[in-house]
A and B are shown apart, each in its own frame.
Chain A
Amino acid sequence: MTTVAARTQPAPPHHDDRSFLRKYIFSTDHKIIGIQFLFVSLFFLLVGGLLAMQMRWQLGFPGKPMPGGGILPDTMAPGGVILPEYYIQLVTMHGTFMIFFAIMPLLVGVYANFLIPLKIGTHDMAFPRINMWSFWTFLAGGVVMLLSLFVPDGASRAGWTQYVPLSARHDYSGASLGQELWSVAIIFVGLSSILGSLNYISTVINNRAPGMTWFRLPLSVWALFITAILGLLALPVLSGAAIMLLFDQILGTHFFDPTQGGQALLWQHLFWFFGHPEVYILILPAMGMVSDIIANGSRKPIFGYRSMVFAIVAIAFLGWIVWGHHMFVSGMNPTLGSSFMVSTLVIAVPSAVKTFNWMGTMWRGNLKFTVPMLNAVAFVAMFVIGGLSGIFMAATPVDMFIHDTYFIVAHLHYVLFGGSLFALFAAIPYWYPKMFGRLMHEGWGKVHFWLTFLFYNLTFFPMHILGMAGHMRRIYDPTQYVFLQPYQPMNVFISVSAFLLFATQLIFFVNFWWSLKRGQKADLNPWQDNGLEWTLPSPAPHGNWERVPTVYRGPYELSSPEVTEDYLPQTRKLPTDREPAAATAARH
């Protein structure tokens, strides 16, 4: 290990003579791969948002021609009026793009790649070439998924959960090639995540800088590490299930077709056995990065570091035994429902612990509201709502009523938008200078934050009320139900808020692009933080350090009485610090 690592040490920056293609396209540099993931998944985030806007148009104004909808072909929206078959494609593709091609790669693809080597103090990932493949398989999957919208009969029509037999048989769904392309794209994503996860796990275990003990790892790295373990174990299940589904679709097997001896619930078990850990894949990295940012913004050590680590591990462990809570009313044995209910309720505990620890971190702090900090605090405030609303559906009798209603839609958006996306709106500007050498515009960042916070709540909070009224998910025209007709004004309100929310995101995108060239130049450590990445120039050079740094303490020594400044970098040696044990150092 030692010799291999020594030989593959990249050349120092001034000897960087790689071609443009090697440097920026087929790069094996973890930072470039992270940035590639960032650009591509931000694009898919935009795609997912556009799909959502079309859904919201239809829900708010059912049967009315959509402005600009005239450009869509007649198979989607003749005269701009969205067809039911296109609407369910929108539902399916919005979920699929957001989960697999936007949030998951934004959190894991971008930040596991970018942050892990920088934060643990190493030159690159353990397997840089595998890392490159992870990006290209992801991109292939995304392109296939995007193309599926334009094949005859359009994209998949079975929801992002692809419940069989609707997804397995074309005569049920009315889709054709689109269904197969969904499976193929997901197999690509599975492969990409497995390759990535292998890398993240190996890197964190083997390549930590001298002195970087497990309990000196930043919580972001802990979260990404545990996420990678979840990914490594969960994605093979999804890929396997997707391969079985593909076989059903093209080879005439009948794994999931009950008319031929298959099992419809088998898919749900496989899907949610992947799907629930997936939910934590989508939130744990967010929690980790928010922990770093809140500690930094509060100028205080993170409150209860070890219990934060244990909470991450506990969530990851419990995440494997709660999948049945998606299936309380699926026809699964109700006795299983009881045990899944208890495990699901218990998983609320580590989430509560994390929330209280974030509050504990802010308590008696010296809170500095930069754009990352604002978004990170909003993450806590919104994640709490998403977490608490989860308790309603964890209780099986209540779930029987609110399952598959807008209450669930509200819940999952409070976790995924209020949680994951706010964390990203914190993380992107926070590490932007280390990626591009410039800061994102602070003023526009604040405008974006406040408008997003407002319109986000106006969009998603009323969905709780709709769900309580019994408004089903994935219905094309709610006014078809007499009992839902009085709620149409609320649907209009939600739609208008959603349009404004989407428009607000354009501020973010413009700020992002504008700052690449015009942003204020950043120095080494713009946030006065302790992490190893802040000892590097902005942007961080290829190969990161010429000599890996030595670590003397944990990452959260903020406002330490030992120094006059309110931060104390991990690498700064105080007279009282001892050199780390030789064993750790020998690894490099």
Chain B
Amino acid sequence: MRKLEVVVAASVTALVLTVGAWTHERPAAVAQGGAISGKIKFTGRKPAAPKIDMSEEPKCKAKYQAAPTDEAVVVNTNGTLANVFVYVKAGLPETYKAPAPAGPVTLDQDGCRYHPHVLGILVGQPLAIKNSDGILHNIKAKGTKNRPFNISQPTNMTSDRTFTAAEVMVPLECNVHGWMHAWLGVLPHPFFAVSDAEGSFAIKGLPPGTYTIEAWHETYGTKTASVTVTGTETKTADFSFAGK
């Protein structure tokens, strides 16, 4: 009988310790986990980016030396593609729980453009929509899984919004300035990145597993790749989009 009690007590203690260790150490493990990085290559004909005539908004026009151009396709000088949203589409264990978001993600409307043009956010994480122009912008979110909204900011101000469901992508637009578009990827986990001016992206802190990675571009659609992460190594996943 005594033996049984000892075994039970030991098992319970072990279980408690394991669970405790697992829940405690998980963020650390994630932080040290694997990474996926890569470049978004661009081949084919580079489309002409039309100039945006902002003469109707002198406040915005004044913020540019050269006439700003449309952001639907931004090809970097090194021949890579910017503004590609790369994220883990599938492969996370079902028990995975995302860490609480550190703070709001800011979407700035400056010079009659969205900064950034493509961004990701966690479900439940506040999106701080900021108007730095001091003129009317409206923000129309046309999501299908998230409640659509259409709000306006007649002057310098910040409005907070949160999103309740994963959705890639929620289109955001300003109807006063028809050229203003932004794309918001809402995900239940923090494993996403947006390709930068070098065309590079990096997703860090992945637990071991085999993942489906998707690269999304507003004009050229999506590409997927499968990547297996075993430890703390950095795997490479390059994508390539072709101009038409």
Contact = CB atoms under 8 A, between A and B. Distances in A.
Interface in A144-203: 152-153, 170-171, 173-174, 176
B150 interface: yes
Interface stretch (A2-10, A78-86, A544-552): A78-86
A84 B142 contact: no
Contact of B154 (A74, A83, A171): A83
B136 A174 contact: no
A523 interface: no
A85 B155 contact: no
A85 B155 CA distance: 13
Interface string B140-183: 10100001111111110101000000000000000000000000
Q: Which of A75, A83, A170 has the most CB of B within 10 A?
A: A83
A176 B153 CA distance: 19
Contact of A78 (B136, B142, B147, B159): B159
Contacts, number: 37
Contact of B152 (A63, A83, A152, A176): A83
B159 A153 contact: no
Contact of A81 (B140, B149, B151, B155): B155
B140 A174 contact: yes
Interface size grouping (class) on chain B:
10 to 19
B142 A174 contact: no
Chain B binding surface, main DSSP class: strand
Q: Interface of chain A, helix or strand or loop or mixed? A: loop
A171 B148 contact: yes
A83 B148 CA distance: 18
A81 B152 CA distance: 12
Contacts of B159: 74, 78
A167 to B, nearest CB: 14
Interface in B16-73: none
A257 interface: no
A152 B138 CA distance: 17
B157 A85 contact: no
Which size bracket describes the interface of A in this complex?
A: 10 to 19
A477 B154 contact: yes
Interface string A388-402: 000000000000000
Given A84-B136, A171-B142, A174-B140, A63 B155 contact: yes
Nearest to B150: A174
A476 interface: yes
A379 B23 CA distance: 77
A85 B136 contact: no
Contact of B148 (A75, A79, A170): A170
Contact of A85 (B142, B147, B148, B152): B152
B134 to A, nearest CB: 10
B157 A84 contact: no
A63 B154 contact: yes
A234 B114 CA distance: 49
Nearest to A78: B157
Contacts of B155: 63, 81
Contact of B150 (A63, A81, A85, A152): A85
B154 A476 contact: yes
Nearest to B148: A171
Contacts of A74: 159
A485 B88 CA distance: 53
B193 to A, nearest CB: 30
B149 to A, nearest CB: 7
Given A74-B159, A78-B159, A84-B136, A174 B151 contact: yes
A63 B148 CA distance: 26
B152 A153 contact: no
Contacts of B138: 84, 174
Contacts of B149: 153, 174
Given A81-B155, A174-B138, A476-B154, 19 more contacts: A78-B159, A79-B157, A81-B154, A83-B151, A83-B153, A83-B154, A84-B152, A85-B150, A85-B152, A170-B148, A171-B140, A171-B148, A171-B150, A173-B150, A174-B149, A174-B150, A174-B151, A176-B147, A477-B154
7 contacts: A63-B154, A63-B155, A74-B159, A78-B159, A84-B138, A171-B140, A477-B154
Interface of B: 136, 138, 140, 142, 147-155, 157, 159
